[in-house]
C-alpha cells in the first residue's frame, strides 16, 4: 500500500561513462518477469534519460563525521544506514557546499525526478545529461517524508525520457538494474535482484522500501531502479553500510509511492496528506492484557493532539483504532498509510474500542503538519532521589526546574525516571532514563505515593500495571508485568 494522498558533491566536471552488463543468465519465466540474455539493449535506450545532479548550498558549519567523503545519514536513519550523497572534493570550511546525486527525466519538456536530500537547502541546482550538456534546474517541489524531489530544466529540444513501471508487480528474486552517478562517474550501470519488499528501516512513518543487492554507492541517490523491460520501479534512496561503501543492501522508494508524489509536486508543488492528529503505537500481549483486549489487533492511541481532528471527534488516549473508512487496520504503519491516502477536509468513519466497547466517530481529516526531529531530553540528576517503587525505577516529581532542565512542556505533570534497574519489570516493559510517567492505571501520578499505590494494586490483583509515559516529545503506553504475573 502506498502512503500517499491524492491521485556529493561532485568534481568540477562530470564524467559520463556508458556501461553495460552482459551475459547475465536467468531462468526462463514469463516474458514480463524474466531477464534478457543481457541488458545492453535496455541500457542503451534508457541511459540518455538518466542524469547527474549538482547542487550548491551554503557553507557547512561543521564537517561531517564518519568515513572520509561520506556525510551523515538522512535524519531519522538508524546506525548503519547512509544516503549516497557523495563527496568528491576536499572540504572547504569557508566555501559553499557542493554535492552530487542522480536523477531521471520523466517528460520531454524537462521534468526530472531525484531525492529530496540531494537538493535540500541548495542555492543552485544543475542537471548534467548523459551527453554532458548542463542545465540550471528549478526545484518544483520536495517531499522530505518520502525523500522525493521534482526538478525542471528548459532545453532547446525534446529530451529523452523513461516510463514508470509497477512496483506492486515486483517479486522477490526478480532482476532489477540501477543506473546512476556514483562518485561522479555518470552513466554507471549495475544489476541485481529484488531482495525484499515493503522494508521499514525506521527513517520515517512512510517507509515502504524495495530492498535490492544491485551495487549502489555514493552519488546514486535519486537514480532510477529499472525492471528488466526498462521501466522505473523505484528511486534509489539509501543503503545499509557499516563501512560507508556498498555491501549489497540498498533501498529504493517504490514507483507506486514516487509516481504519486511526483504527480502532486508537479500539480501543486507540495504533497497533502490526511492527518488524524494522534500518536499511536502497536499492541503487544502485555498491553492487550492491561487494556483487557481480546487480542493485539488494532492501534493504540497514546495521545490525541489537543484541537486535532481525532480529539475534536472525541477520541482520546487509550482508545484502540480498529478501522478507518471501512478498512481494517492492524498496526501503526497500516493506519498511517491508510490515513495519508485519504483526502484532507473529508469526513471519514473511525471505528475504535474504548473500555471494551466498539464505538465509531466521524473524523474530518486535517493536513499533516511538517514532521520535525525531536531531541532526547536530559535525564534528571540522580542525587538524593527517593527509592523507586517495586517496578524498578528511581523517580522524582516534575518540578519547574526539572521541566526547564529536561526541556519538557510547561503543562506536563508526572514523575521523571532517573534510572531503571536493568533486571526489573520496568526495564522489561521498555521504560528508560528520561521518561516521564504521567499516568498509572489510567490515573495521574502527582507524586511517588500515587505510583506506589497503583503498582501495589496491580500486583495484588495479578494484573499488569498500565503506564502512560512522555518521551522525546510524544506519548506512549507501557505495560509493566510483575514476575509472579508473567507467563510461564
Binding site feature residues: 117, 147, 219-221
Instruction: Tell me how far apart the alpha carbons of residues 16 and 32 are, in angstroms, rounded to a whole number.
Output: 30
What is the grid cell recorded at 44? 542503451
Active site residue 117: yes
Q: How far does Cα 272 stand from its chain's mean position?
A: 17
Active-site residue, selected from the candidate residues 221, 241, 255, 323:
221
Residues annotated in the binding site for substrate, as ranges?
117, 147, 219-221
Active site residue 136: no
Residue 346: how many CA atoms within 13 Å on its side-chain side?
A: 15
Instruction: Tell me how far apart the alpha carbons of residues 100 and 229 are, in angstroms, rounded to a whole number.
Output: 28
Sign of CA dihedral 112, 116, 119, 120: positive
Instruction: Tell me how far apart the alpha carbons of residues 116 and 104 are, in angstroms, rounded to a whole number.
Output: 14
Active site residue 34: no
Q: Per DSSP, what are the bridge partners of residue 213?
A: none
What is the grid cell recorded at 95? 566555501
What is the grid cell recorded at 249? 543492501
Active-site residue, selected from the candidate residues 99, 117, 130, 203:
117
Whole-angstrom CA distances from 150 to 104, 222, 264 are 10, 10, 10
Active-site residue, selected from the candidate residues 82, 83, 143, 147:
147
Of the candidates 277, 366, 267, 264, the residue with the CA atom closest to the CA atom of residue 314: 277
What SS3 class is residue 486?
A: coil
CB-based burial, 458-477: b 16+ in 10 Å, e otherwise: bbeeebbbbbbbbbeeebbb
Q: Per DSSP, what are the bridge partners of residue 139?
A: 151
Backbone phi, then psi, for 278, in 5-degree steps? -130, 150
Instruction: Tell me how far apart the alpha carbons of residues 292 and 147 are, in angstroms, rounded to a whole number.
Output: 40
Of the candidates 285, 271, 297, the residue with the CA atom closest to the CA atom of residue 206: 271
The secondary structure of residue 260, as a DSSP letter, is H
The angle formed by the CA atoms of residues 304, 418 and 384, to the nearest 5 degrees, is 135
Which helix (H) or strand (E) element contains residue 406? helix 400-406
Which active-site residues does the annotation give?
A: 117, 147, 221
Amino acid at each position: 500500500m502506498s502512503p500517499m494522498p491524492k491521485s556529493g558533491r561532485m568534481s568540477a566536471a562530470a564524467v559520463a561513462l556508458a556501461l553495460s552488463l552482459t551475459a547475465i543468465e536467468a531462468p526462463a519465466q514469463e516474458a514480463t518477469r524474466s531477464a534478457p540474455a543481457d541488458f545492453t539493449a535496455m541500457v542503451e535506450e534508457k541511459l540518455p534519460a538518466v542524469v547527474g545532479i549538482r547542487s550548491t548550498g551554503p557553507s557547512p558549519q561543521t564537517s561531517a563525521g564518519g568515513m572520509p567523503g561520506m556525510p551523515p545519514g538522512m535524519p531519522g536513519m538508524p546506525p548503519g544506514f547512509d544516503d549516497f550523497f557523495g563527496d568528491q572534493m576536499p572540504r572547504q570550511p569557508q566555501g559553499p557546499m557542493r554535492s552530487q546525486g542522480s536523477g531521471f527525466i520523466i517528460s520531454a519538456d524537462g521534468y526530472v525526478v531525484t531525492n529530496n536530500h540531494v537538493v535540500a537547502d541548495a542555492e543552485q541546482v544543475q542537471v548534467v545529461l548523459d551527453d554532458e550538456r548542463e542545465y540550471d534546474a528549478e526545484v518544483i517541489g520536495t517531499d522530505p517524508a518520502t525523500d522525493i524531489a521534482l526538478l525542471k530544466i528548459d532545453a532547446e529540444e525534446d529530451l529523452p525520457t523513461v516510463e514508470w513501471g509497477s512496483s506492486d508487480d515486483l517479486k522477490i528474486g526478480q532482476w532489477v538494474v540501477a543506473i546512476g552517478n556514483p562518485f561522479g562517474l555518470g552513466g554507471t550501470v549495475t544489476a541485481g535482484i529484488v531482495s525484499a519488499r515493503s522494508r521499514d528501516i525506521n527513517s520515517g512513518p512512510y517507509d515502504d522500501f524495495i530492498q535490492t543487492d544491485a551495487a549502489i554507492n555514493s552519488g546514486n541517490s535519486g537514480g532510477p531502479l529499472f525492471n528488466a523491460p526498462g521501466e522505473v520501479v523505484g528511486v534509489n534512496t539509501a543503503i545499509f553500510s557499516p563501512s560507508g561503501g556498498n555491501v549489497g543492501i540498498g533501498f529504493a522508494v517504490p514507483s507506486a509511492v514516487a509516481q504519486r508524489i511526483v504527480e502532486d509536486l508537479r500539480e501543486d508543488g507540495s504533497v497533502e496528506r490526511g492527518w488524524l492528529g494522534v500518536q499511536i503505537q502497536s499492541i503487544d500481549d502485555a498491553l492487550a492484557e492491561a487494556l483487557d483486549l481480546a487480542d493485539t489487533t488494532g492501534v493504540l492511541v497514546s495521545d490525541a493532539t489537543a484541537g486535532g481532528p481525532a480529539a475534536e471527534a472525541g477520541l482520546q488516549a487509550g482508545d484502540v483504532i480498529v478501522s478507518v473508512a471501512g478498512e481494517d487496520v492492524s498496526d501503526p504503519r497500516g493506519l498511517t498509510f491508510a490515513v495519508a491516502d485519504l483526502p484532507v477536509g473529508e469526513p471519514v468513519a473511525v471505528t475504535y474500542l474504548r473500555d471494551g466497547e466498539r464505538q465509531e466517530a466521524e473524523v474530518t481529516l486535517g493536513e499533516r503538519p511538517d514532521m520535525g526531529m525531536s531531541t532526547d531530553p536530559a535525564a534528571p540528576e540522580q542525587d538524593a532521589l527517593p527509592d523507586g517503587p517495586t517496578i524498578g525505577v528511581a523517580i522524582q516529581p516534575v518540578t519547574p526546574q526539572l521541566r526547564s532542565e529536561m526541556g519538557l512542556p510547561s503543562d506536563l505533570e508526572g514523575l521523571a525516571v532517573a534510572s531503571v534497574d536493568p533486571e526489573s519489570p520496568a526495564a522489561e516493559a521498555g521504560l528508560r532514563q528520561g521518561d516521564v510517567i504521567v499516568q498509572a492505571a489510567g490515573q495521574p501520578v502527582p507524586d511517588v505515593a500515587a505510583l506506589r499505590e497503583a503498582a501495589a494494586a496491580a500486583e495484588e490483583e495479578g494484573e499488569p500495571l498500565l503506564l502512560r509515559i512522555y518521551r522525546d516529545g510524544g506519548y506512549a503506553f507501557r505495560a509493566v508485568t510483575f514476575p509472579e504475573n508473567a507467563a510461564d
